[in-house]
Chains A and B, each alone.
Chain A
Amino acid sequence: MLFCLLIVNTLKKKTTLPLYWKCQLIGWSVASFYWGYIGFLGGRFNYFIGSFQFISDVALYILITHLYRNFALRRHWQQLNPGDLLKRLVPAAVVLGLVYLLTTATKIYLFNQWLASGNAGPFINFFKVNWLLMFTAGVRLMSIWLLAYHLYHYGKREVGLVRENSRLALIAKDAQLSNLSSQLNPHFLFNSLNNIKALVIEDPKSARRAIDLLSDLLRTSLYNNDLLLCTIKDELALVTDYLELEKLRLEERLQFSITCAHDLGTTLILRYSIQVLAENAIKHGIGKQKQGGLVNLKITPEADFIKMVVENPGKLDMAAPLEGLGLKNLTERLSLQYKGKAKFEIVGSDGIVSASLLIPNA
């Protein structure tokens, strides 16, 4: 009883005691206390012997199971699937039952020997009488312990997996959404509409053309957003529409040139990867130059890779070269899609900023 209180006290004080040790102490204490109680009901109960039994039981069985736990940990049994784990747990329960039998039998015999001042008879006799009872008790106890221990870890792992999966699903959803919003760049959209409004009066033919281009751009960004890849040909059609529309707005401030090795048209690339670079070239390049300049897009094969380069006049902000949602998003999508085999870099020199993208030619 005293010991029990002591344990409760230490538990109260040290709330940092790991859950494992709490369970060990409480579990074995309850079991030992129950045995003591049975002994007490059986009459002829000696408090001294009872306490001694209690303490030695708790210490011994914690030791045995703790040794097993270290063994299982070292062999990473927590990571096994239920079937494989079960195959190991059955022999483990038997072995632990045997260990329980040996230690318990030895302990009780030595104790009896001590109490009877060495006249308890030979060990073998004692063992023959008691071994079956002790062994089944051991297997039963150890099985309960094993199940409790491994079920807890299995449950914990499952919860962790579910959480990790939902996190991944969320990331994928997020990428899709920011994909959409990066395409429907509102600043571009409203500037274009304002431009079209002016063109309706000033140059109706261009206004009509601008509406066609904008419609196609909207169509592309509103639909098929679940597609990750597209052909270079499709991507270039999108980029060309975009640049033509921007040219109607920026007029002489924007020139553009697009060159692509003709056999690359059907190659698959990450959708919007060139578009993001083109938008960036307008927003941070042409848009920030009073005189504007040339946006130069080149796509060439290079060994096992495809190289896509977009150049524009301007200065690179070295402090935050990859700032902006578009580029951050692009690098993330690249690493997801090509698992680190794609390379993206942006450099600036002599008033020209050059963004280049190298992806495996699959």
Chain B
Amino acid sequence: MKRIRVMIIDDERSARNEMRRLLADYPGFEIIAEAKDADEAKALIEDKQPDLIFLDIQMPESSGFDLLESLEQVPQVVFVTAFDQYAVKAFEVSALDYLMKPVRAERFAKAMDQVRQRLAEPREERIFVKDRNQCHFISWSNIFLIESMDNYARLYFDDKKVFLKSSLNQLEQRLNASVFFRVNRAQIINLQFIDNIKTPAGGKVQISLKTGDTVEISERQWVKFKNRMDAKNKGG
């Protein structure tokens, strides 16, 4: 069986070593890299694409949360913290996997069981958003609408919405263009959620989503949209 590729991120050498010792009892897991701060970690994650990271929250310059928010694709994460009541509260309300230092072997075994289960599920591309005191791992396929709010983007998924610090232009560039489409200056929709398209007499084209939301499409984008549909239909 393929081994699970793990990365350890902590600013303290002894803490990284402790994590190595805990992982030594789990032959199915292979430590492919260590990082001592968020910048180093970001480069290594993008380069080596680990399946799982053990992540300390309090690190110099950028925190573990900052690191996750900067990633385009987020691997499975187990948070590790010495004690941070705010972080722990965030983990609790968001039902995330976390460990408290020093980590007991039994507690670690439990976390590893959960990780195995999560990794057995089909992997989806997802992002991490920390909005106020809540942490969210959001699969792109669950996001049906994105709205611009000044320097923030508001993501709608399931029955929730969160703010992401990113302009709509920045976001549009990193989105999968075969799934997401910008309908006007302020909105991007997930094409897989389209229910029907209506053209009221003399008005702008309106797209209804399966969630019940309706967006208007600008004239310029409507031309693009039709071309795309045509190309897609011709293509197959």
Partner-B contacts on A (CB < 8 A) = 186-187, 189-191, 193-195, 197-199, 201-202, 249-251, 287-290
Contact = CB atoms under 8 A, between A and B. Distances in A.
Contact of B101 (A191, A250, A288, A290): A191
Contacts of B15: 191, 194-195, 198
Given A190-B101, A290-B37, A198 B61 contact: no
Contacts of A189: 83
A187 B100 CA distance: 11
Contacts of A290: 11, 36-37, 60-61
B17 interface: yes
A197 B102 contact: yes
A271 to B, nearest CB: 24
A194 B101 CA distance: 6
Question: Which secondary structure dominates chain A's binding surface?
Answer: helix
Question: Which secondary structure dominates chain B's binding surface?
Answer: loop
A289 B37 CA distance: 10
Contacts of A197: 18, 102
B226 to A, nearest CB: 50
Interface in B117-159: none
A198 B84 contact: no
B12 interface: yes
A199 B61 CA distance: 26
B32 interface: no
B60 A289 contact: yes
21 contacts: A187-B58, A187-B82, A187-B83, A190-B82, A191-B12, A191-B15, A193-B102, A194-B18, A194-B101, A194-B102, A194-B103, A195-B12, A195-B14, A195-B15, A197-B18, A198-B21, A202-B14, A287-B60, A288-B61, A290-B11, A290-B60
B82 A198 contact: no
Contact of B14 (A186, A187, A198, A289): A198
A187 B101 CA distance: 10
Q: Which 4 A-B pairs have the closest CB atoms?
A: A198-B14, A194-B101, A190-B82, A186-B83
B13 interface: yes
Given A191-B12, A191-B82, A194-B82, A288 B18 contact: no
